[in-house]
C-alpha cells in the first residue's frame, strides 16, 4: 500500500522501460515489509533529475546507461572505489547529500565466486567499455589476472594501460593462456541472437565462460561453451548481485537474494 510514508527509489537512465530492477527491488521491499517503491525514471536532463532527487527526497537510485560517468560531478561525494573506476551505478540520498557508489564490480565478483576462486586465476575479458572496466577492477582487487581484448584495439590498449594489465588483439586470442572467459560486450544480445564475440573453436580452452548479456538468457556464446564442456554463468547473475548490494546501501538491511533472483528470472521469462 503506497501512502504518505512510502519511500521512493528508482533508476535513472535512457531508456529504462526495459529494466528488470523494479521487479527485483519491489519484490525485496515486499519480502521484508519495507514501505518503499522502486520506479523507472526516464531522464531527459540529468542535472535537473539529480536536483529532483534532493528536492523530492528520493531515497536512492540506480544509474544506468548513458549516465554512469556523467552523474559523477553532480553528486556530493564519490566512494573511493567508484572514483577509481570512473563510474557510478548507485546513488544514496542521506538527508539531501548524494553519495555515489559502484556495485557493478561486486555483482561480477560475487557471480564468479559462486563458481570459482578468483585469486590466481587468469581471465580473458572481451570488451573495453564501462562494464569491462568494473569487472576487470573486481577481478584485480580479488587477486586475479586480466587480459583485455576488443574489436577496437586502441580502446582495449588504453584500458589495459590504465589498469596495468595486458591487451591482446582479437586475432591472437589463442596465445592467451586464460582459463576464464567473460564477455562484456553487447555481441549476442537480442535481436542479434547469432552473434559470437569469439570463434567457437577457441572455447574449449576455457573452464568457465560468463556472459553479461541476459537478453537472451542463454546466449549463443553460452550454448557453444556449454557444448564444449565449459561451466557457464548467465548475465542475470551479475545484475542480481549488483542489485542486492544497492539494496543494502539504501536500506542498511540484508537483501533477500532468493526473492530478488526469482523476481528477475520471472520478469525476464514474462518477456517471452
pLDDT given at position 272: 72
Query: Catalytic residue numbers?
Result: 68
Q: Domains in the chain and their CATH numbers?
A: 7-102+242-270 (3.40.50.10860), 106-233 (3.40.50.720)
CA-CA distance, 167 to 243, in Å (whole number)?
Answer: 30
Q: In whole angstroms, what is the distance from residue 167 CA to residue 160 CA?
A: 6
User: Three cell numbers at 78?
Assistant: 564519490
**C-beta of residue 163 within 8 angstroms of C-beta of residue 140:** yes
The structure's pTM equals 0.94
In the 8-state DSSP scheme, what is residue 199?
Answer: -
Do residues 126 and 183 touch, judged by C-beta distance below 8 A? Answer: yes
- Which tens digit of pLDDT belongs to each residue from 194-211? 999 999 999 999 999 999
pLDDT digits (tens, 9 = 90+) for 214-268: 999 999 999 999 999 999 999 999 999 999 999 999 999 999 999 999 999 999 9
Amino acid at each position: 500500500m503506497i501512502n504518505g510514508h512510502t519511500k521512493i527509489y528508482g533508476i535513472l537512465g535512457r531508456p529504462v522501460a526495459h529494466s528488470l530492477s523494479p521487479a527485483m527491488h519491489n519484490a525485496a521491499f515486499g519480502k521484508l515489509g519495507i514501505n518503499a517503491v522502486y520506479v523507472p525514471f526516464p531522464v531527459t536532463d540529468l542535472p535537473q533529475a539529480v536536483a529532483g532527487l534532493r528536492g523530492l527526497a528520493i531515497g536512492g537510485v540506480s544509474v544506468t546507461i548513458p549516465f554512469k560517468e556523467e552523474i559523477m560531478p553532480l553528486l556530493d561525494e564519490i566512494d573511493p572505489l567508484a572514483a577509481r573506476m570512473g563510474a557510478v551505478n548507485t546513488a544514496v540520498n542521506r538527508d539531501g547529500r548524494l553519495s555515489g557508489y559502484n556495485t557493478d564490480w561486486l555483482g561480477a565478483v560475487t557471480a564468479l565466486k559462486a563458481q570459482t576462486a578468483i585469486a590466481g586465476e587468469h581471465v580473458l575479458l572481451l570488451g573495453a567499455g564501462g562494464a569491462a572496466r568494473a569487472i576487470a577492477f573486481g577481478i584485480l582487487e580479488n587477486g586475479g589476472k586480466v587480459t583485455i581484448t576488443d574489436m577496437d584495439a586502441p580502446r582495449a590498449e588504453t584500458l589495459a594501460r590504465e589498469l596495468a594489465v595486458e591487451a591482446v588483439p582479437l586475432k591472437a586470442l589463442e596465445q592467451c593462456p586464460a582459463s576464464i572467459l567473460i564477455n562484456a560486450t553487447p555481441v549476442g544480445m537480442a535481436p542479434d541472437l547469432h552473434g559470437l564475440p569469439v570463434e567457437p573453436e577457441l572455447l574449449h580452452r576455457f573452464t568457465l565462460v560468463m556472459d553479461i548479456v541476459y537478453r537472451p538468457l542463454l546466449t549463443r556464446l553460452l550454448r557453444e561453451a556449454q557444448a564444449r564442456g565449459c561451466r557457464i554463468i548467465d548475465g542475470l547473475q551479475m545484475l542480481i548481485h549488483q542489485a542486492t548490494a544497492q539494496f543494502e546501501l539504501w536500506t542498511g538491511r540484508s537483501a533477500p537474494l532468493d526473492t530478488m533472483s526469482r523476481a528477475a528470472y520471472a520478469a525476464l521469462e514474462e518477456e517471452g
